[in-house]
Copies of this chain bind each other. A is one copy, B any other.
Amino acid sequence: MDLDLANKLYHKMLLIRRFEEKCVEMYSKEKIRGFLHLYIGEEAVAVGVMHALSSEDAIFATYREHGHALARGIHPNRIMAELYGKQEGCSRGRGGSMHLFDAATRFYGGIAIVTGGLPMAIGMALSDKMMKRNKVTVCFFGEGAVAEGEFHESLNLAALWHLPILFVCENNLYAMGTALEFTQSETNISLKAASYRITSKQIDGMNVTEVAESSEEAIAQIRSGNGPVFLECLTYRFRAHSMYDAELYRQKSEVEEWKQKDPLIRLPQDWSDINIAQHEEEISHIIDEAVEFAENGTLESVDDLEKFIYSSEVAR
């Protein structure tokens, strides 16, 4: 880790933060609709993990994936346009907040069914193994996913078949309004993975340095052919689950406590030379541009609606 890298990571985290704050603003102006799940507070996880990947690796994420998409390098313009439902969006406006996709960066969603992405990630890793491609697949999900059967089926397959896959559990303590203690008899999630004989580690998900370093280690291990790795990142979402959430299930004080661990505060503590003002300045331009791009985007013609149901109807 050096200052350059610290700056890079800080920049990405701040981009996510400001981007999503802008999303909230645009949501209240009804420019953005549907569900909008914010990643604010959890930025260190996506940014730290993505840092460790190569452009050849594949990513599967959830409905809370703005952060992952930005960290992976999908252009903010295309993400904002997607949230606006415009044709220039990364999913042509068909996907929306929960379904960001991008072939160029191998970003496979934006899967909005809890655990729905895990089996596909397994399959992607299987294809890499069968084709003897030295690629890694990364799959992000919340701790709520651990209760779903698909989670267990997938972990077992990954372990059994020694697949090149990194599981990243974003343990933010709540699944919507249900606290982990109400959903798991064993609340140490990393132990679950270990029960499949998967190398597994619990890390501080508010510390981007720790996430980046653990991810690098994990990816190296996976690339060397040692099978899957599981990272449980302890983190917290500062905002409501979505735009419809009254937040009755947690104490304000708990939120405040976690805000002390804000990854955007944490990193500059170690790297005082990070020029925050300059980052803010740069990012503010990026966000403005994204909004402008989205505003100026076009609404796809209704005549094209039945495209993309089958490949033969895809205009390529």
Contact = CB atoms under 8 A, between A and B. Distances in A.
A101 to B, nearest CB: 26
Interface string A231-252: 0000000000000000000000
A292 interface: no
A15 B197 CA distance: 42
Contact of A185 (B147, B159, B185, B192): B159
Contacts of A192: 195
Contacts of A196: 185-186
A191 B195 contact: yes
Sorting the interface of chain A by its residue count into under 10, 10 to 19, 20 to 34 or 35 or more gives 20 to 34
A133 to B, nearest CB: 23
A153 interface: yes
Contacts of A198: 185
Contacts of A150: 149
A3 interface: no
A54 interface: no
A160 interface: yes
Residue picked from A151, A182, A185, A195, most chain B C-beta under 10 Å:
A185
A299 B151 CA distance: 46
A7 interface: no
Interface string A122-164: 0000000000000000000000000111111100100110000
A284 interface: no
A84 to B, nearest CB: 37
B147 A153 contact: yes
A87 interface: no
A221 interface: no
**Ordered nearest first, which 4 A-B pairs have the shortest CB separation?**
A149-B149, A159-B185, A195-B195, A152-B152
